[in-house]
Chain A
């Protein structure tokens, strides 16, 4: 067993507000190797805050506490801002949910990829240009040369998301955190995006944290799944054993989805047990 890429132990994210302290993440622990890890939960379960805390992107006045938060032996909590800057976008990168809001609207897609590349790798402009084009091709853009010169508002959601993935993968990171990368996309397009991510994991040995609310998608894509509820991990299981989930919350989530396979009327709803949140 090689050393895990990312170790998280007892991660807590707190927000001190006028009305009191809200703990969005309450003691999350996991380890990640070069694999696909899914984090599933509903809105407000703390799944996105977990991903952001790893990158040090918790918005102020948020506070991140952990017994251990290390990436490849580097302690992310005590690391200098400078170290963090080289890690972020270089060795760890993040794909956000909505390409409309996370791409720079006044820069062409190609320029943005070049900027991301040159921020981390010492390369000439011509080299960076070639890398950016190759990357656009790697994410299966039909006409990379054309897309290179386009502005984000000129491309569709699926293409924007692919451009963002290209930008995040151009530095060949060891760890990619994907926060709902396909939620804003159509099913068939999201399958394409997943296939691209899948290739990077299996061919380049990248670690992937896939954050989503879609249990079905995560279980078909990831190796392992963490199910979060109210800031805690209520269950960790192998994705292929999702059907045998023990926790009533996971079971409830599975059952309340309408499926093509069976026809249940009315759909079972989730009865939230207050003890789950304890």
Chain B
């Protein structure tokens, strides 16, 4: 479905040049859920942004269904791939109602039956029609993230790019949104690429994942291997340890080893 080969993303020129992604390659099958894990600055979000055209592709290949993506991306691309952003407080237009937010992609793509599509999208994400004419500030964080998911799903894409979809949410709300995402994937046969710094969330939602650090991919592993604690790479191992909580007799943390 999605094939990334030696992807490079470079921002700026000359002295200010930053290589955000140095070399990332992975392949995602249709219907699969793939995770990208790493700390801030590891380039995991930039990979997602490069896929959907929000960051430049400076080198390498991004292929969707075997075809190289064009810049700028066409309408057909956005009917296949949609993105859900991290912060539901920042990613919804504060002065647009839910109805307007959801009808915008339909208008751009010239979809006819907007009315039924909006109501259906709201139902799919577990919100009733009563939410249709609310503004974002009248919604809780979890409800906003549901609207963001509905907005992404309304064009019936095949792939969802999820950039830290639950890290701004409370634990109990996170569980609800994770369940919703899993449910939707099974019902609609979606493909996910999930970016998160939380290993447990990635292991919960994804089968395979890529560990990134400083713009490079460190190791590709499976969530089963994560669960059993089998990670060949010492950096992955230190991430697993850190996710277990604080420990008084831990060795030197990984981030002091390099950078």
Q: List 25 A-B contacts (CB under 8 A).
A: A43-B141, A43-B170, A158-B255, A187-B198, A188-B39, A188-B238, A188-B255, A189-B39, A189-B253, A191-B253, A192-B255, A214-B171, A220-B244, A220-B245, A220-B246, A220-B247, A221-B245, A253-B172, A257-B175, A257-B200, A258-B201, A260-B200, A261-B227, A265-B182, A269-B179
**B residues less than 8 Å from A213 (CB atoms):** 170-171
User: Which of B182, B240, B245, B254 is packed against the most chain A CB atoms within 10 Å?
Assistant: B245
Question: Complex: how many Å from CA A146 to CA B23?
Answer: 31
Assess the A256–B172 pair: CB atoms within 8 A: yes
Residues of B within 8 A of A256 (CB): 171-172, 174-175
Verify if A149 is at the interface (C-beta below 8 Å from B).
no
Residues of B within 8 A of A19 (CB): none
Q: How far is the CB of A156 from chain B (nearest CB, A)?
A: 8
What is the size, in residues, of chain B's interface with A at 8 Å between Cβ atoms? Answer: 38
Closest to A40 in B: B171
Which A positions have Cβ atoms within 8 angstroms of B? 42-43, 140, 156-158, 186-192, 194-195, 198, 213-217, 219-221, 252-253, 256-261, 263, 265-270
- B248's nearest neighbour on chain A, judged by CB, is A198
Q: Report B-chain residues with C-beta under 8 Å of the C-beta of A270.
A: 172, 175
Contact B227 A263 (CB under 8 A): yes
Q: Is B242's beta carbon under 8 Å from chain A?
A: yes
CB distance from A190 to the nearest CB of B (A): 8
Contact A187 B197 (CB under 8 A): yes
Contact with B255, one of A43, A189, A253, A260 (Cβ below 8 angstroms): A189
**Which of B172, B227, B255 is the one whose CB lies under 8 Å from A186?**
B255
B197 to A260, Cβ gap below 8 A? no
Q: A269 to B238, Cβ gap below 8 A?
A: no
Whether B243 contacts A263 by the Cβ 8 Å rule is no
A-B pairs, top 4 by smallest CB distance, nearest first, are A220-B245, A256-B175, A258-B204, A270-B172
